[in-house]
Amino acid sequence: MLPLILASSSAYRRDLLKRLRLPFTWASPDIDEQALPGESAEQLVCRLARNKAYALATSHPQHLIIGSDQVAALDGQIIGKPHDLPRARQQLLNASGRSLAFLTGLALLNSQSDYCQVACVPFTVHFRELDESRIDRYLQAEQPFDCAGSFKSEGLGISLFRSTTGEDSTSLIGLPLIRLVDMLLNEGVSIP
């Protein structure tokens, strides 16, 4: 098996990848993550996942390189990471009683053969009605300012949901493991 490397600085993605019990390293790709004019959310995450994987190809010429990127969208508008309390509060107020779509782009590049598998894995979160008091208590408790959508589904953020819809709940955290296993199997990797 070619060595596996995760093209990401995300601790969340590293923690997810550890679930597969495969040895891997990680490195942060240095790419421009701006959307292109007219680019849909799905096109954006697929392009960025691919670009992240290719950003490490030269320095890791005989590796399987995993790239991933995620955006949240409300009514078709891309929502980024809030980075601070006021933006997080506004994101959650906007999502109250509504559905937020998460699109996660995933790429697995074999840098030896230059074969790259790419997919977009959707997942939808249906929010409860949230008042400002509940939102403020949640934000104070978890401070999810580095998370698209302003919540951590693997933590207390789950209490904000009415329901979820999707094939792979790990895609919500940023690395769709079910689809990744399919890609790894296509590359002949034995998953324990």
CATH code of the domain in which 156 resides: 3.90.950.10
Q: What is the DSSP letter of 63?
A: S
In the structure, what pLDDT confidence band is assigned to residue 154 with cuts at 50, 70 and 90? confident
Distance between CA 178 and CA 192 in Å, rounded?
14
Task: Specify if 79 maps to a domain.
Answer: yes
Task: Specify if 192 maps to a domain.
Answer: no
pLDDT at 151: 93
Whether residue 192 is predicted with pLDDT greater than 90 in this model: the reply is no
Query: How many domains are there within the chain?
Result: 1
What is the rounded average pLDDT of the residues 92-110?
Answer: 96
pLDDT at 188: 96
Task: Specify if 146 maps to a domain.
Answer: yes
24: left (phi over 0), alpha (psi -120 to 50) or beta: beta
Task: Specify if 15 maps to a domain.
Answer: yes
Task: Specify if 22 maps to a domain.
Answer: yes
Whether residue 76 is predicted with pLDDT greater than 90 in this model: the reply is no
Which residues are known catalytic residues? 69
Domain residue limits at 65: 4-186
Residue labelled with tokens 């906007």: 94
pTM: 0.90
Share of the chain above pLDDT 90, in %: 83
| Cβ atoms within 10 Å, residue 7 | 27
Task: Specify if 27 maps to a domain.
Answer: yes
In the structure, what pLDDT confidence band is assigned to residue 159 with cuts at 50, 70 and 90? very high
Averaged pLDDT of the chain: 95
What is the rounded average pLDDT of the residues 116-141?
Answer: 97
Whether 91 and 73 have beta carbons less than 8 Å apart is answered as no
Q: What is the DSSP letter of 15?
A: H
pLDDT at 64: 98
What is the rounded average pLDDT of the residues 52-76?
Answer: 95
Task: Specify if 191 maps to a domain.
Answer: no
Whether residue 63 is predicted with pLDDT greater than 90 in this model: the reply is yes
